[in-house]
Amino acid sequence: MKTRILSLVALLFAVASFAQPRAEYPRPQFERESWINLNGEWSFTLDLANTGAERNYYNSKGFDSKIIVPFAPESKLSGIGHTEFINAVWYQRTIQIPADWVGKRVKLNFGAVYYKSELYIDGKFVGRHYGGSDSFSYDITAWVSDGKEHNLVLHAESDVRGGKQPAGKQSSRLNSYGCFYTRTTGIWQTVWMEAVDESALERVQVFTDIDQNQIVVTPTFYGYKAGDKFAITVKDGEKVVAKTEVGASQGLPVVVPVKKPKLWTPENPFLYDVVYEVKNAAGEVMDQVNSYVGMRKVHIDGTKIMLNNKPYYQRLVLDQGFYPDGVWTAPSDEALKHDIAMSKDAGFNGARLHQKVFEERFYYWADKLGYLVWGEMASWGKNSSLPESGRNFLSEWSNIVVRDRNHPALVVWTPFNEEWATPTAEMGRLLTDAYYMTRQLDPSRPVNTVSGGLYAISDFCTTHSYNQNGEALYKQLYSDGKFYQPQGATDGKSAMIILHYDGKVPYVVDEFGGIKCAEANPSKENAWGYGDAAQTKEDFYKRLESLVKAITDHSDKICGFCYTQLTDVEQEQNGVYYFDRKSKFDMERVKAIFQMKAEGYEQ
């Protein structure tokens, strides 16, 4: 087994280049002042046989290697670069609680750790988490003392071949292949601490009602006392446009009227600043959270997906969120912003975030820059016939929906991608449970239960086609008075009920294209793409135009598309840009094609 450890010079360069890596606040829609970023150098060891617990690693005061958090050990930026299978890893560092946090609860927060993790402080077990893509926290108040240094150890395990954990596009083979790529193990998002009051806000759920000119906020508190007040202030720059104060009550909606609201759209992504305060009976502010809200409405009307009560054509790109040096973790906050800017420069108004749950900072930039987002679970890798697999999926997905449901840029939920499994009753139950759970947690957005594959229960219909001929694609999508039936549909004789598209709900071709260009990507070993490659860039433009036209010419029936994909990813070479984000084509020409007129839509 070969382990690549970067040289000390490279490691020092990485540390110096980043100072503290990913130093920005990780949760920009729910921000407090008292926080400490724990990214940076931690001691670390691979535990390939997963025997560390037997060796009392949870008591370790330091391991044999160093790693740069929040980058996974498979990545170059971590300083480790071990890309073979990793069964388990251990992290260690010390923490110290600031003196001015006296009397506060101390929360230790993890953006994401893949997959199963256990936390120890001073050798004592604190908690365990299952899930590789959702954020989670521990209240560590009982394990720490003000001003004292404490030893923190985190153990993480992963088994992407076991069929029980959602893995997304992580390769189940030794190396990357086809459309599967380098794995991610352990910490891959920011680790941080914050101080909160006993009566602090835990979360809010926000609905923007543009028809009645109001914002509806439902708070959840860690706890509250008699006489506590909950105050909401909405601002347009420095101007206060709405202010409400009510008695603090768990889970009861608070209505905030907003006169003549400015609406959020991709063309004008206006955001109101919002301040949430919890005050005690004497009027003292016990907790303050800075946030923002974009007032917009998403709903389905017949065969259209509506934004602010108008049909809005979805010009999306498939974004898998991989980076050459960080794998699942963006090297910087600027890189997240840049990916969105690149996409808009290519003519897209949004993205289907594919087989990966993106971090909150990405959603923040989507909100700020005006970029539609379809949020998707990393659903591949699970064996849906295993009860534990379904249980793991649902618990993690519910956390993700709750975390991200307040972002205005997020317009559609997609729990599953291409479920090609035999349509069993068990599979139907999982799809149905996921659909209704998502709608219960967030009734404000449509749910695309399965992108491609089994069309079992959904608010609208999607399909995938990598037909590389525009004329053939046009005929395939709609011919003889019938719409192209989603893959996975059956004659109804299986144990699972399969829907058949009836032309009465929106239809989106949410994967197409995937054009590999031989001139832009000269052949190399292990290279992969869909169909026969376009030989020249000129051939690429002509094929791309014919495929997009085949879809937009059906705009009376099809309300959007998603092109595969934004960038090349490792050996997959069908991106509009290269994997390193450099330009591959004449982007003005590409932009004009993707913004081809769709009749019946303004934009």
Sequential DSSP letters for 193-220: EEEE-TT-EEEEEEEEETTTTEEEEEEE
Q: Within this chain, do residues 551 and 451 fall inside the same structural domain, yes or no?
A: yes
Sheet arrangement for strand 350-353: 410-414, 372-376, 350-353, 314-319, 560-564, 507-513, 461-465
Placement of tokens 């793991």 in the chain: 392
Lowest mean pLDDT among 237-241, 408-412, 414-418, 451-455: 451-455
Token pair in block for residue 401: 């929906």
- Is residue 11 predicted with pLDDT exceeding 80? no
Sequential DSSP letters for 258-300: -SSPPBB-SSSB--EEEEEEEE-TTS-EEEEEEEEE-B--EEE
pLDDT of residue 224: 87
pLDDT of residue 428: 84
319 within a domain of the structure (yes/no) = yes
d(CA 541, CA 503): 31
pLDDT tens-place string over residues 177-191:
999 999 999 999 999
437 within a domain of the structure (yes/no) = yes
600 within a domain of the structure (yes/no) = no
CA angle 397, 119, 56 (to 5 degrees): 135
Domain residue limits at 222:
211-293
pLDDT band at 523 (very low <50, low <70, confident <90, very high): confident
Sequential DSSP letters for 162-187: SSSS--TTB-SSSS-BTTBB----EE
Which of 196, 222, 243 finishes a domain?
196
pLDDT of residue 494: 53
Q: Within this chain, do residues 184 and 236 fall inside the same structural domain, yes or no?
A: no
- Is residue 12 predicted with pLDDT exceeding 50? no
pLDDT tens-place string over residues 123-152:
999 999 999 999 999 999 999 998 889 999
Q: Within this chain, do residues 270 and 371 fall inside the same structural domain, yes or no?
A: no
pLDDT tens-place string over residues 71-100:
999 999 999 999 999 999 999 999 999 999
395 within a domain of the structure (yes/no) = yes
Q: Within this chain, do residues 278 and 329 fall inside the same structural domain, yes or no?
A: no
206 within a domain of the structure (yes/no) = no
Q: Is 131 left (phi over 0), alpha (psi -120 to 50) or beta?
A: left
d(CA 78, CA 91): 12
Q: Within this chain, do residues 263 and 222 fall inside the same structural domain, yes or no?
A: yes
2 within a domain of the structure (yes/no) = no
Q: Within this chain, do residues 244 and 384 fall inside the same structural domain, yes or no?
A: no
Cβ atoms < 10 Å from Cβ of 305: 23
Are the C-beta atoms of 235 and 222 separated by less than 8 Å?
A: no
- Is residue 481 predicted with pLDDT exceeding 60? no
pLDDT band at 489 (very low <50, low <70, confident <90, very high): very low
pLDDT tens-place string over residues 421-440:
667 778 888 999 999 999 99
pLDDT of residue 13: 38
d(CA 598, CA 600): 6
Are the C-beta atoms of 250 and 221 separated by less than 8 Å?
A: yes
Are the C-beta atoms of 55 and 155 separated by less than 8 Å?
A: no
Number of domains the chain contains: 3
Residues for the chain: how many in total? 603
Q: What is the mean pLDDT of residues 434-462?
A: 93
Look up the CATH number of the domain holding residue 226. 2.60.40.10
Comparing 19 with 273, the larger pLDDT belongs to 273
- Name the DSSP class of 404: H
The long-range contacts involving 332-340, CB below 8 angstroms and separated by at least 24 positions, are 332/18, 332/22, 333/22, 333/24, 333/361, 335/581, 336/361, 336/362, 336/365, 337/365, 337/369, 338/581, 339/566, 339/567, 339/581, 340/365, 340/366, 340/369, 340/371
Q: Within this chain, do residues 165 and 254 fall inside the same structural domain, yes or no?
A: no
Cβ atoms < 10 Å from Cβ of 223: 13
Is the bond preceding residue 257 a cis peptide, omega within 30 degrees?
no
pLDDT of residue 14: 43
489 φ, ψ (degrees, to nearest 5): -70, 150
Q: Within this chain, do residues 153 and 32 fall inside the same structural domain, yes or no?
A: yes
Q: Within this chain, do residues 264 and 124 fall inside the same structural domain, yes or no?
A: no
Q: What is the mean pLDDT of residues 155-159?
A: 98
- Name the DSSP class of 45: E
Cβ atoms < 10 Å from Cβ of 482: 10
- Is residue 531 predicted with pLDDT exceeding 90? no
Q: Within this chain, do residues 246 and 164 fall inside the same structural domain, yes or no?
A: no
Q: Within this chain, do residues 124 and 218 fall inside the same structural domain, yes or no?
A: no
User: CA quadruple 437, 439, 441, 446: dihedral positive or negative?
Assistant: positive
Q: Within this chain, do residues 281 and 316 fall inside the same structural domain, yes or no?
A: no
pLDDT of residue 483: 65
Are the C-beta atoms of 250 and 220 separated by less than 8 Å?
A: yes
43 within a domain of the structure (yes/no) = yes
pLDDT band at 495 (very low <50, low <70, confident <90, very high): low
d(CA 450, CA 463): 9
What is the value of pTM for the model shown? 0.94
